[in-house]
Amino acid sequence: MKTRFLLPCLFLFLLTQNGNAQDDKAKDYRNFPIVVTLQFQAFAMPFKDLKSNFKNFGIGIGTEVSHSSYHNWVQKFDIIWFKNKAMGSGLLFSTQVAWRPYLVSNSFAEIKAGIGYHIAFRPTESFIQKEGTWRTVQKQGKGMLAIPVGVSLGYHNYQSETFVSPFVGYQIMFLKNYNKSIPVVPMTFVQMGARIHPVYPDLTQN
Amino acid sequence: MKNYSYLLIFIWAILITYPTFAQDFNVVKCNDSKPVPIHPKALALQKALDKLTAVGIPGVVAAIYEEGNLWTLSSGLAKIEGQVPMQPCHLVYTQSIAKSYMAVTIVQLAEKEKIDLDGKISDYLPKEILAMLPNADRLTVKMLLNHTSGLPEYNSQPTYVTRLLQNPERIFQPVEYIQYIAGKELDFEPGSRYSYRNTNYVLLALIADGITGDHGKYMEEHIFEKLGLKNTYYKIKQGDSYGDRLVNGYWDRYSNGIVENASVLQNTNVASMVGDDGIITTAEEAILFLKGLMEGKLVSNESLTLMKEWVLDKNGDPQYGLGLDYTAFLREPAIGHSGGGLGSGSQLYYFPEKEIYMFFGINLGTVTDSPIHQEAEKILEEIYGVVLGK
């Protein structure tokens, strides 16, 4: 219940804080950081059954590129793999647009939404009958469209050298055509990770 | 960067060694004392059952009672892994057929004047439950029995469904089901129409507990023992394979004709439910229950007539009595109940004009659509034809 109230408050706070301290004209962003995350996944309604999230671990890797050379609008690209022993593991490819205003000092919030493709595996060995014989198809699953939306909080202190920007987030994912009887299935992720902003060599110089 | 590499390797190692969740139950061949029926009708039925399992239903059991003969038949597998054949002596999940047993329990209590069917449910339910049902004083016991209460369905609440699927080993308490509809308005004016809701029968179980102390024990004594049902169990124990006789249940999770073993989820789900579900039995004993009820062995003729007072749909067609469904197969009127679950499906019906009883139980879930069901439905028509001689 607390989470339900906390997040709308966070959104309101973000809206009132738009254009805060670091929203100046100085470029404060470096494209293509390495984004590594720990994912805690559950098939659950948004902000419900949070305990289940911590039963299912996963990892994510991704990167992002700024739409404006600034920190506040970025396009994210992620691959997440998670293990869910009850509902089946999954591999998720997604891209999201993120609005990332600064809050106080170097801390920032993030609201993101996008599109993805989810490959869902089965939790156990499965079978198909062909010519009267049952044959195993292992844990063969199904691909489906995913609609992700999420929020994050993080810390970003731009430096000219390699630096790390940690964050925590909550991602909601709606999976389409899970089966014919349940057309949309929600899954949620609690995310903890870091953007590692390396200094890439400038290949344009001799 | 090196530190991060170690971290990633560590996380990956944890993930790949994470234990796989065992979803199956042990089931073995059981001893069938009955001879294989040789009556032409039984042989035709066996052929049809074989067709059913040939289109992807893992296993099926059937029992037919007609003119003093009770035939039990089976086809397919009780467990795909290990190729354990399905047999009539195996225990199958009856799912919502349990509502008929629950209704008999309530009607028996009414005969003993321990409950008034026209009384308000607020007179029988504990305060803890009533606090969640703002309209309880507008609902009668009878409205729960014939699904005219208008109470919302707990079973279709997305929060419940996701929690159930994500936590296949989690036992739900009856009060938790009611929590999913706590404070919600009625879907329609009580008594104004029929709409099937599992919630009604969970409340009946809680009412019966209040009167008897343990309605499961009451049911055992006043239904199972009365009819000599030695292979029928209610409020089943989670994880118990009942002497390795309980069939495994399968589920076409993605509606693509591939089935996975969902026995743990199925078993835990049925072990959690009261009133609306929770009974396992053999095909033969399912028939003996309905036959016993129709022959007045469980309730008086007056009560049975009351149980067969059908609520009509908007077209004026009979739908449901007290724990009894009124339907038709190949235009032949039938009284009984059907059931569907995550890993099972069943039908128990009496054809009064033909004096035939039939029970079918499959170990494939029927609550989600599957191409297997579409094929099976065509064969079911053929099966009804054989049963009814049409």
What's the DSSP call for residue B120?
Answer: B
Instruction: State residue B11's pLDDT score.
Output: 53
> Alpha-carbon distance B361 to B49, whole Å?
11
Residue bearing the bigger pLDDT, B281 or B39: B281
> Alpha-carbon distance B32 to B73, whole Å?
11
Give residue B202's pLDDT band: very low, low, confident or very high (50, 70, 90). very high
> Alpha-carbon distance B263 to B378, whole Å?
26
Residue B192 touches chain A, beta carbons under 8 Å: no
Report CB contact under 8 Å: B166, A52. yes
Burial B105-131 (b: 16+ CB within 10 A, else e): bbbbbbeeeebebeeebbebbeeebbe
Which residue from A minimizes the CA distance to B17?
Answer: A83
Residue B76 touches chain A, beta carbons under 8 Å: no
Residue B69 touches chain A, beta carbons under 8 Å: no
Instruction: State residue B9's pLDDT score.
Output: 60
Choose the CATH number for A31-197 among 3.40.190.10, 2.10.109.10, 2.40.160.20, 3.30.2350.10: 2.40.160.20
Residues 6+ apart with CB under 8 A from A150: A96, A110, A111, A112, A113, A169, A170, A171, A172, A189, A191
Chain A residues in contact with B83 (beta carbon < 8 A): 134
pLDDT in tens, chain A (206 residues): 445 555 555 444 444 444 444 444 457 788 999 999 999 999 999 999 999 999 999 999 999 999 988 889 999 999 999 999 999 999 999 999 999 999 998 999 999 999 999 999 999 999 999 988 999 999 888 999 999 999 999 999 888 899 999 999 999 999 999 999 888 999 999 999 999 999 887 666 55
> Alpha-carbon distance B167 to A43, whole Å?
9
Residue bearing the bigger pLDDT, B222 or B36: B222
Instruction: State residue A23's pLDDT score.
Output: 46
* Cβ-nearest to B20 among A85, A180, A186: A85
Residue B288 touches chain A, beta carbons under 8 Å: no
Chain A residues in contact with B161 (beta carbon < 8 A): 182
Instruction: State residue A182's pLDDT score.
Output: 87
Closest-CA residue to A117 (of A138, A90, A150, A98): A90
Which residue from B minimizes the CA distance to A123?
Answer: B21
> Alpha-carbon distance B142 to B181, whole Å?
20
Instruction: State residue A68's pLDDT score.
Output: 87
Chain A residues in contact with B2 (beta carbon < 8 A): none
Q: Which residue has the tokens 């397919």?
A: B76
* Cβ-nearest to A122 among B159, B165, B253: B253
Closest-CA residue to A84 (of A189, A179, A166): A189
Quick: pLDDT tens for B294-330. Answer: 999 999 999 999 999 999 998 999 999 999 999 999 9
Interface test with B, best of A119, A129, A175 (most B CBs within 10 A): A129
Burial class (CB within 10 angstroms; exposed 0-12, middle 13-18, buried 19+) of B315: exposed
What's the DSSP call for residue B354?
Answer: T
Number of CB pairs, chain A paired with chain B, less than 8 A apart: 116
Give residue B99's pLDDT band: very low, low, confident or very high (50, 70, 90). very high
Residue ranges covered by each domain of chain A: 31-197
Report CB contact under 8 Å: A43, B255. no
Interface test with B, best of A135, A165, A180, A200 (most B CBs within 10 A): A180
Q: Which residue has the tokens 């590692």?
A: A196
* Cβ-nearest to A141 among B168, B254, B259: B254
Closest approach of chain B CAs to the CA of A20, in angstroms?
32
Give residue B110's pLDDT band: very low, low, confident or very high (50, 70, 90). very high
Asked if residue B12 has pLDDT above 90, the reply is no
Quick: pLDDT tens for B133-180. Answer: 999 999 999 999 999 999 999 999 999 999 999 999 999 999 999 999
Burial B195-215 (b: 16+ CB within 10 A, else e): bebbbbbbbbbbbbbbebeeb
Residue B162 touches chain A, beta carbons under 8 Å: yes
Instruction: State residue B120's pLDDT score.
Output: 98
Burial A39-65 (b: 16+ CB within 10 A, else e): bbbbbbbbebbeebbeebbbbbebbbe
* Cβ-nearest to A179 among B24, B158, B368: B368
Instruction: State residue A25's pLDDT score.
Output: 45
Report CB contact under 8 Å: B11, A134. no
> Alpha-carbon distance B149 to B134, whole Å?
13
Chain A residues in contact with B254 (beta carbon < 8 A): 120, 141-142, 178-179
Report CB contact under 8 Å: A59, B8. yes
What's the DSSP call for residue B95?
Answer: G
Chain B residues in contact with A52 (beta carbon < 8 A): 163, 166-167
Instruction: State residue A205's pLDDT score.
Output: 57
Report CB contact under 8 Å: A59, B21. no
Which architecture, in CATH terms, is B37-388? 3-Layer(aba) Sandwich (3.40)
Instruction: State residue B31's pLDDT score.
Output: 86
Residue ranges covered by each domain of chain B: 37-388
> Alpha-carbon distance B269 to B272, whole Å?
5
Instruction: State residue A16's pLDDT score.
Output: 46
The H or E element spanning position A186 is strand A184-197
Residue B10 touches chain A, beta carbons under 8 Å: no
Chain A residues in contact with B182 (beta carbon < 8 A): none
Predicted-complex ipTM score: 0.86
